[in-house]
Amino acid sequence: MKRNLIATLVGMMVCGAFSAHAAGVTDAMIANDAKAPNNVLSWGMGTQGQRFSPLTQINTQTVGKLVPAWSFSFGGEKQRGQESQPLIYNGKMFVTGSYSRIYAVDMKTGTKLWKYEHRLPDGIMPCCDVVNRGAALYDNLVIFGTLDAQLIALDQDTGKIVWKEKVDDYAAGYSMSAAPLIANGLLLTGVSGGEFGVVGRVEARNPRTGQLVWSRPMIEGHMGYKYDKDGKATENGVTGTVNKSWPGDLWKTGGGATWLGGTYDPTTKLAYFGTGNPAPWNSHLRPGDNLYSASTVALDVDTGKIKWSYQTTPHDGWDYDGVNEFVTFDMDGKRMGGKADRNGFFYVIDAKDGKLENAFPFVKKITWASGIDLKTGRPNYIESGRPGDPTKGEEGKKGATVFAAPAFLGAKNQMPMAYSPQTKLFYVPANEWGMDIWNEPVSYKKGGAFLGAGFTIHPLNEDYIGAMRAIDPKTGKIVWEVKNGAPLWGGVMTTAGGLVFYGTPEGFLKAVDAKTGKELWKFQTGSGVVAPPVTWKDGDTQYVAVTSGWGGAVPLWGGEVAKKVNFLEQGGSVWVFKLSSK
Ligand code: CA
């Protein structure tokens, strides 16, 4: 009897320990995320970032019956932009909020399970609102970056801190807003702060402990390192070339912030990170291409070495950050990557070697280049489109003002696009706007804005700024578009049910036909949607979720456009939908 009891207890303990471990998120699960619709384990609904779901219960025929299942408020007095993509695992939703908050919510009922609210110091310097775009899951951990440039790993069940690492100095302008990426067993992160002269980099860590494995700065001149198990830089792990394409000392504060994080393709074993503007914005201070700013950089995840890079805006003079997500897909039997750049051009690039395959405009007005030379891969600059040199002094201390399109907030910004292998189209949330921009003298001061430029953003059209566009990567044709009054700032999701979901600052989550753009359903969430939707299936039921809460860069930096949309109200909640049983 007694022996039986002990045996049972031991059995329970072993079983308990085993099941707790077996329930953790594995590398195999993350690699299969895009195809396994019961979970959403990564930003991008799969590390490739296609944001395509194979689910079909909610489809063009049934979507009209989509109704709210529950809504959860982030609470408190802190609202502002909610750009977070929720993750779904083990019956829980993990969703981040503004001001470095994260919540675990019961996936079926919307009941709060725990909340972690990061204590932020005074003096954080997020350039573009106090946003966070989401977390990463690994084993029993949920990991996210904070506005004071720390990484926090919490226990998925309790919300207790398991490890915490300082990534960099927030007082120098570093912050973190992107969702971390898990690639081949490593935790990959970037940094934000390109408007303060930080140096962008990609870091790989052990996701279980937070220990650094390698680090690769994105501004050439700085060295990258591999680290041993004691955290010491190893001699043979050094990468980089001093001063490459950066004459003088400006590379020391050269920008290239990796603020939107990256994607990973398990077939190429490469992680793709976009890099932001070279610093300062005033391009006359830094002759040359300014590697690797405003680029897509493909990194070998084992070594941190740069396998290839492609610079979308060499010698950027308009803050056309090249951070936008590189989404890999199959085209004519080859693995390609698509990227809708802030500079107005859509690029199709060989994911293995970085060779440019196609490049075409996805907005109607582009003033800085007349096109992209497919042979050399370089833009054909329109020299008069570059704001003038302040040392030439046409306007006192200011350089000559030019009108430039797109505006620096971009033909597309942080809001991720989607790709459907079913329609073979990209769905791109684009914006049509321009700016007056001029250069000014500037010198670097730690923690100060490092721009050397002034600007005012203007709408280009009376009736719309945003345009949801279906784009054929082979032909460069816009197959359909849906115009939107306010600039689009949320992401996109597409499904095998023939649908495209996206949100608007006016508060709607919309579902349109993936083939035609015809609106089939919409729901008013109560505040602006500036985040990407997700979908998953639990038992027999398909769910759709999106966070709601107007904010982000537009109200802060948008000039005339910000005035035009200042009627929009803030918020902070996540909505979940399913089909009505009636
Ligand atoms: Ca920037």
- Beta strand extents in 302-432 (DSSP E only): 306-311, 327-331, 334-340, 345-350, 356-361, 369-372, 379-381, 402-404, 418-420, 425-431
Q: Mean pLDDT throughout 73-80?
A: 94
Cβ(162)–Cβ(154) below 8 Å: yes
15-33 burial by CB neighbour count: b if 16+ within 10 A, else e?
eeeeeeeeebbebebbbeb
**Ligand 1 center to residue 576 CA distance, Å?**
33
**H helix or E strand, kind and range, residue 11:** helix 2-22
Distance CA 347, CA 476 (A): 9
Please give the backbone phi and psi of residue 87, each rounded to the nearest 5 degrees, phi first: -115, 150
CA of 408 from ligand 1 middle (Å) equals 8
What is the tens place of the pLDDT at every residue in 557-577?
Answer: 999 999 999 999 999 999 999
Reported confidence tier of residue 9, pLDDT bands at 50, 70, 90: very low
Task: Render pLDDT for 341-372 as a digit per residue (tens, 0 to 9).
Answer: 999 999 999 999 999 999 999 999 999 999 99
Residue 16 token pair: 């308990």
CA distance 275 to 414: 12
- Residue-wise pLDDT for 35-73, tens only, equals 999 999 999 999 999 999 999 999 999 999 999 999 999
Residue 315's nearest CA partner among 340, 349, 292 is 292
Helix, coil or strand: residue 403: strand
What is the CATH topology of the domain spanning 5-579?
A: Methanol Dehydrogenase; Chain A (2.140.10)
How close is the Cα of 388 to the center of ligand 1, in Å?
Answer: 19
Q: What is the pTM of this model?
A: 0.95
373 given a catalytic annotation: no
Q: Give the pLDDT band of residue 395 (cuts 50, 70, 90).
A: low
Query: What pLDDT band is residue 393 in, cutting at 50, 70 and 90?
Result: low
**Residues in Cβ contact with 333 at an 8 Å cutoff, skipping those fewer than 6 apart:** none
Over residues 198-220, the mean pLDDT reads: 97
**195 CA to centre of ligand 1 in angstroms:** 6
Any residues with CB less than 8 A from the CB of 343 and at least 6 apart, and which? 294, 312, 313, 318, 320, 322, 366, 368, 369, 379, 406, 410, 411
How far does residue 276's CA lie from ligand 1's centre (Å)? Answer: 5
Torsional sign, CA 523, 525, 528, 530: negative
Which of 129, 265, 289, 319 is the catalytic position?
A: 319
- In the predicted model, what is the mean pLDDT of residues 86-100? 98
Grade residue 172 by pLDDT with cuts at 50, 70 and 90: very high
User: What's the gap in Å between 320 CA and the centre of ligand 1?
Assistant: 7
Q: What is the pLDDT of residues 470-511, one digit of tens each?
A: 999 999 999 999 999 999 999 999 999 999 999 999 999 999
Instruction: For residue range 517-540, list pLDDT tens digits in order.
Output: 999 999 999 999 999 999 999 999
pLDDT > 60? residue 121: yes
Report the separation in Å between the CA atom of 277 and the middle of ligand 1, taken as the mean of its atom positions: 5
Region 84-94: mean pLDDT is 98
Checking if the pLDDT of 94 tops 80, the result is yes
156 has pLDDT over 90: yes
Ligand 1 centroid vs 407 CA: distance in angstroms? 12
| Residue 397 confidence class, pLDDT cut points 50, 70, 90 | confident
Q: Is the pLDDT of residue 285 over 80?
A: yes
User: Exposed, middle or buried, 172 (CB in 10 Å: 0-12/13-18/19+)?
Assistant: middle
Distance, CA 503 to ligand 1 centroid (Å)? 24
Q: How confident is the model at residue 167 (pLDDT cuts 50, 70, 90)?
A: very high
User: What does the chain come to in residues?
Assistant: 582
- Arithmetic mean of pLDDT over the chain: 94
Per DSSP, 211 falls in state -
Q: Distance between CA atoms of 302 and 557, rounded to whole angstroms?
A: 39
Distance of CA 418 to the CA centre of its chain: 12
Rounded distance between C-alpha atoms, residue 509 and residue 370, angstroms: 35
| Integer CA distances (angstroms), 448 to 173, 174, 181, 439, 509, in order | 8, 11, 29, 17, 38
